[in-house]
Amino acid sequence: VAQDAAKGAAVFKQCMTCHRIGPDAKNLVGPVLTGVVGRKTGTAPGFAYSPLNKAVGEAGLVWTEEKIVEYLPDPNAFLKKYLTDKGQADKAVGVTKMTFKLADEQQRKDVAAYIATFK
């Protein structure tokens, strides 16, 4: 299925309860998402991440559009599976601060494409 960054801008309104994106964006309830594609998980400067989110970055995950699409339906499950698959089940504990879930696959693809336009 094709991705549509313009439709993703509308989907991103749901994320804006907690996140900002763009050249002047700042951390809010959630970390700034400008440049998140290509950034190691849990490394937005000045944001206080959960140990779970940070551990995934330390284990090697760099965000891609595809990984964001996989993450959004169930962020906790995604982060814990990543650590377990890396043989770090001991770190797959606690919960992420990101309580939001996005089930719809087309919306996930569109929002990831939108996010990727902000380098």
Give the CA distances from residue 32 to residues 72, 74, 93, 112, in Å, rounded to whole numbers and listed in that order: 16, 20, 24, 14
Using CA atoms, how far apart are residues 2 and 23, in angstroms rounded to an integer? 26
Q: What string marks each residue from 57 to 76 as x (binds ligand HEM by CB under 6 A) or -? A: ------x----x---x----
Residue carrying structure tokens 């089930």: 103
Give me the least distance between CB of 87 and ligand HEM, in Å please: 21
| CA nearest neighbour of 56 among 25, 84, 19, 15 | 84
For position 36 contacting ligand HEM by CB under 6 A, the verdict is yes
For position 29 contacting ligand HEM by CB under 6 A, the verdict is yes
For position 42 contacting ligand HEM by CB under 6 A, the verdict is yes
Using CA atoms, how far apart are residues 69 and 41, in angstroms rounded to an integer? 14
For position 15 contacting ligand HEM by CB under 6 A, the verdict is yes
| CA nearest neighbour of 63 among 112, 2, 10 | 112
**Beta pairing partners, 40:** 62
Among the listed residues 20, 30, 83, 92, the single contact to ligand HEM using CB under 6 A: 30
Nearer to ligand HEM, 99 or 117 (CB): 99
Binding site residues, ligand HEM, CB under 6 A: 14-15, 17-19, 29-31, 36, 41-42, 44, 49-50, 52-53, 63, 68, 72, 96-100, 102, 111
